[in-house]
Structure 1
Amino acid sequence: MRRIAAIAAAKAAAALSQRLRVGGGTALPGLLAEWIDPNIVPEMARRLGEGSVIVTGTNGKTTTARLLRGIVRAAGLRVVANRAGSNLMRGIAAALAESAGLGGDFAGARRLLGVFEVDEATLPQAVRALRPRVVLFTNLFRDQLDRYGEVEHVAAVWRDAVFALGRSATVVLNADDPSVAALAQAAPGQVLVYGVEDTSRGIDRLEHAADARWCSSCGGELAYATVFYGHLGHWSCPQCRAARPPSRVVATRVEPEAEGTRVAIAMPGAEVSVGLPLMGLYNAYNVLAAVAAAVALGIDAEATERGLSSFTAAFGRQERLTVGGRRVQVILAKNPAGLNEVLRTITADGQQKDVALFLNDDIADGRDVSWIWDVDFDLLAGKVRSLTVSGNRAWDMALRLKYAGLDSLPQVEERAAAALRRALRATPEDATLYVIPTYTAMLRVRALLARWARRPAFWQEG
């Protein structure tokens, strides 16, 4: 009876939230379900015939999970997922309750796989509750310091979670991130490693804001033969001889295209090549991570390529809309490594850009916004036609931009709707407005733009 009550309450709360347009029913239903039945996640997860996959990391979780879902469906499996990005335990509970019948059973459970995006700090709870087949790690960057603490603390939390996995679980790791690659030492079961081999997009030195400069084994300073972005690259420790591990899933070629990226990936016994509507090297890593997880699940190359070819961008992650005759692209950025790569990507062609930056400091963003001083906003110098800043910390962003050496100061408008209208007016009809928000600002601006563009709410998309 407790299970039935929990699922019924979750379904009712989700329906009411969506009907009243106060949200997508992705968090509150899960909170209610867990309050009524604290064991709902582990009990229902055991009914998933194909088990579950956890996708975690600082950047790229939502896009990587979305890519993986497409591959899984192309392989003929059905998916349960927290597809709207609610990545705490409440989001997992809500997703399970939404997909189940009132009795807690799943239709076609034998061919059902859970693909769950999981918050970095929530990983230990998720591992205990889900007992996943695969845990995929994307990267580890400084993010929300007031919530997570320094990257070393997050790495320690992840090591404990990996150590607690069963021997049947496969851990999928990014070879190019020293902090992530080091998790192999804690894994009791199989480890599958992925990395980028195409060095044509790399540079020969670390960025000033890099988060992994020191060897996790001996504390010595790491050396890099190639740096792709942040601290991701081909690394080694001259002091203890630790080094980037060999990868089983490899990006052999990464080529920028007009509005996306083409990636060639070598996997055991096969190669896939796909063009995706995602710009930037960081998105090549997301594709590579999803393919590596597919390999860990035993999905073949044909299904993998077919699944990738049907991909569309997730809400706020390079999502494209048309508003008032202008093209708009919304690109979430929430930490120095991520925003640096976004700026580098959109300015790579040297053309004049129209940009709107939204900075919030709500709990989901992190209250401490000092990270913006580690962002290389000078990348915009000489390449911006119009620049608007907004959000509840708009003036902090305006101050930071004053010291970036730009040709002119930004227009400041704290109200999101007014800021978007101002930015759209300043954007020529044949140009693209790049909207770059932090997380909670993204939810607000995406809702406004979707309404103006007559697009569905984010929780209604795949």
Structure 2
Amino acid sequence: MARRASRAIARGGGTTLPGRVLLALRPDALEALGRRLDGGAVLVSATNGKTTTTAMIAQILRAQGRPVVHNQAGSNLAWGVATALLDARPGDGQVGLFEVDEAWLGAVARALRPRIVVLANLFRDQLDRYGELERLADEWAALAHELVEWGTKLVLCADDPLVADVAPTPQAALYFGLEDDARALPHRDHAADATHCRRCGAPYEYTVSWLGHLGRYCCPACGHGRPEPTVAARRVELRGMRGSLVEIEHNEQRARIELPLPGVYNAYNALAACAAAIALGFGLRDAATALADVQAAFGRVEVVTLEGRELVLMLIKNPVGANEVLRTLVLEDQQLCLWIALNDGIADGRDVSWIWDAEFELLRGRVRFASCSGTRAPEMALRLKYAGVEAPLAVNREVAKSLEQALRHTDGRLYALPTYTALLELRTWLARKGAAKHWADR
């Protein structure tokens, strides 16, 4: 009743309010509803990419004819999972597939006792809410010991030292990672976070860096290093906004994915999804075939048409994620028209100083027009000025008016780079225009 009422009245409360009501009435609702999932639960957590990775796993499951209960609108706290579980029905083999906020992973996992937990990365994000990365890594490591005792299979990114190290033993995890040195960065990101060994504190030595602090690393002091990935991307070919080619190997079996999503970060998402599928008992080639038709997740390289122009929505929320979006954009041949919306809501993180760690300098000489919006629009404009972006620059805090202005300056494609709450505001406006579904109805 709460879900129906909130969707009818507020349009957008249908993903969290029902779960809040449910958990207030029945604090054990997650445990009770989770028992209806005949196929068990799969949890996915990461700082970046959990929405897309979860959408990819859902695509693989549905391609194999498995019914899925999924928090596809991206509400990833306990009440969002509880709302999704309202659709759980015993007796038909449903798999519960849930992306889970990094800080809420322990509570949700202890309630659901999942079959599989996928941990893809930990990056600096919303320090005012999460605290330092090491605290989250310690919490994940303590949880991993409990999960292994329950029989949960861990699927971990070998390239992230914070994630790879949470497994109690190497045998407790299925590791995935990149093995294409052609995709290496010329130098490690300024935004790299986990640069010191969690076991002895000495600085890691990296032979390759692929994304942030993800790479091939080893501690020269204690010898602890990157575990060998058993699900590996042997080749990644980037094709700008047109997508990418990813070749994945597992146990001498290879699969080729013509992925319609761009960037190294989406190659990682596809790799994590394939590893999860293997842990669930599916074949690598079946998983790869399903991903050839995957659609962009909500606001993650999502393309909508408005007033005869293409609007490409690319969420940015922390330095590493923003850098990967920027690297993807500069692969395009033409000059860029940009709309960047920086908010400082609680869901964004009140501290927006992260924009100074993102490499907006990559845009120098590549921008034809830029518009800055959101509650912290002036700070974003200042950052672009310091980055050396000399194109005409508009500043307007009002999302709708700012976007309309940007569209008037755009002949073809406008790239929209909003933070999280700005993305929700933008999608609501697009829904009113009839250009996209409402974000709560996806």
TM-score by length of 2: 0.96
Contact 2:38 2:90 in 1 (8 A): no
Q: 1:407 deviation in Å?
A: 1.4
Percent sequence identity is: 47
Q: How many angstroms does 1:32 deviate by?
A: 0.3
- CA 1:37–1:187 in 2, change beyond 3 Å: closer, same or farther? farther
Amino acid at match of 1:39: D
- 1:437 matched to which residue of 2? 418
Asked if structure 2 preserves the Cα contact closer than 8 Å seen for 1:121 and 1:154, the reply is yes
Given the alignment of the two structures, is residue 454 of structure 1 paired with residue 416 of structure 2, yes or no?
no
Structure 1 contact 79–112 (Cα < 8 Å) conserved: yes
Partners in 2 of 1:208 and 1:73 — Cα distance?
40
Corresponding residue for 2:121? Answer: 139
Match of 2:166 in 1: 183
Cross-structure match for 1:172: 155
Shift of 1:454: 3.2
Contact 2:12 2:439 in 1 (8 A): no
- Deviation of 1:290 after TM superposition, in Å, equals 0.5
Deviation at 1:209, TM superposition (A): 1.7
Per-residue deviation, 1:269: 4.9
Equivalent residue runs for 1:2-401 within 5 Å = 12-97=1-86, 99-100=87-88, 106=89, 108-109=91-92, 111-167=93-149, 168-184=151-167, 186=168, 190-257=172-239, 259-401=242-384
The question of whether the paired residues in 1 share the 8 Å contact of 2:37 and 2:90 is answered with no
**SS of the counterpart of 1:164?**
helix
User: Which consecutive aligned stretches of 4+ in structure 1 deviate over 4 angstroms post-superposition?
Assistant: none
Matched, 1:425 2:414: no
Displacement after TM superposition at 1:264 (Å): 1.1
Equivalent pair of 1:81/1:95 in contact (CA under 8 Å): yes
CA RMSD of aligned residues (A): 1.5
The Cα offsets for residues 271-328 of structure 1, whole Å up to 9 and x where unpaired, read as 2211222111011000000000111111123431232123111110100011111111
Query: Are the equivalent residues in 2 in contact too, given 1:51–1:112 (CA < 8 A)?
Result: yes
SS in 1 for 2:349: coil
Letter in 1 for 2:426: V
CA contact (8 A) 1:159 1:183 kept: yes
Query: How far has the Cα of 1:349 moved from its partner?
Result: 3.3
TM superposition shift of 1:188: 9.6
- Counterpart of 1:5 in structure 2 is none
Relative to structure 1, the CA distance from residue 302 to residue 403 in structure 2 (aligned partners, 3 Å threshold; closer, same or farther) is closer
The question of whether the paired residues in 1 share the 8 Å contact of 2:364 and 2:388 is answered with yes
Q: 2:347, 2:64 → 1: CA distance?
A: 34
Give the aligned residue type for 2:99. E
1:107 to partner: Cα distance: 5.1
Partner-residue secondary structure (3-state), 2:313: strand
For residues 222-280 of structure 1, give each alpha carbon's deviation from its aligned partner in whole angstroms, at most 9, with x where no partner exists.
11111112111111111111111101101111112251111111123522211222111
Counterpart-to-counterpart distance in 2, 1:260 and 1:370: 31
CA distance in 1, matches of 2:277, 2:252: 14
Please say if residues 341 and 417 of structure 2, whose CA atoms lie closer than 8 Å, have aligned partners that are also in contact: yes
Question: How many Å apart are 1:392 and its aligned residue?
Answer: 0.7
Counterpart of 1:237 in structure 2: which amino acid? C
Q: State the shift of 1:49 in Å.
A: 0.8
One-letter amino acid of the counterpart of residue 125, structure 1: A
User: Do the aligned partners of 1:213 and 1:231 also contact (CA within 8 Å) in 2?
Assistant: yes
SS at match of 2:210: strand
Contact 1:251/1:265 (<8 A) preserved: yes
Distance in 1, matches of 2:422 and 2:70, equals 24
Q: Deviations over 1:370-421 (max 9, x none)?
A: 1111111111110000100000111111222221112146210110001110
Which residue of the partner structure matches residue 6 of structure 1?
none
Q: Structure 1: how far apart are the matches of 2:236 and 2:322?
A: 20
Between stretches 78-87 and 258-267, larger displacement belongs to 258-267
Quote how far apart the aligned CAs of 1:447 are: 2.0
Q: How does 1:397-412 map to 2 (within 5 A)?
A: 397-408=380-391, 410-412=393-395
Conserved? CA contact 2:257–2:289, under 8 Å: no
* 257-266 or 373-382, larger mean C-alpha shift: 257-266
Does the CA contact (< 8 Å) of 2:260 and 2:292 recur in 1?
Answer: no
Residues 350 and 383 of structure 1 are in contact (CA less than 8 Å); yes or no, is this contact kept in structure 2? no
Does the residue aligned with 1:400 lie in a helix, a strand or coil? helix
Deviations 1:78-135 (A, max 9, x none): 10111111000001110011x14xxxxx1543x1111110000001101110101111
SS across alignment from 1:311 = coil
Q: Kindly provide the amino acid, as one letter, of the partner of residue 280 in structure 1.
A: G
- Structure 2 residues without counterparts, runs of 5 or longer: none
**Secondary structure of the residue that 2:189 maps to in structure 1?**
coil
The verdict on how the C-alpha distance between 1:133 and 1:51 changes in structure 2, with shifts beyond 3 A counting, is same
Asked if the contact 2:369–2:392 (Cα under 8 Å) also holds between the matched residues in 1, the reply is no
User: Gaps (5+ residues) in structure 1?
Assistant: 1-11, 101-105
How far the C-alpha of 1:456 sits from its partner, in A, is 1.8
- Please state how far the C-alpha of 1:55 moved relative to its aligned partner: 0.1
- 1:335 alignment partner AA: N
Shift of 1:180: 0.8
Deviates more, 1:379-388 or 1:13-22: 13-22
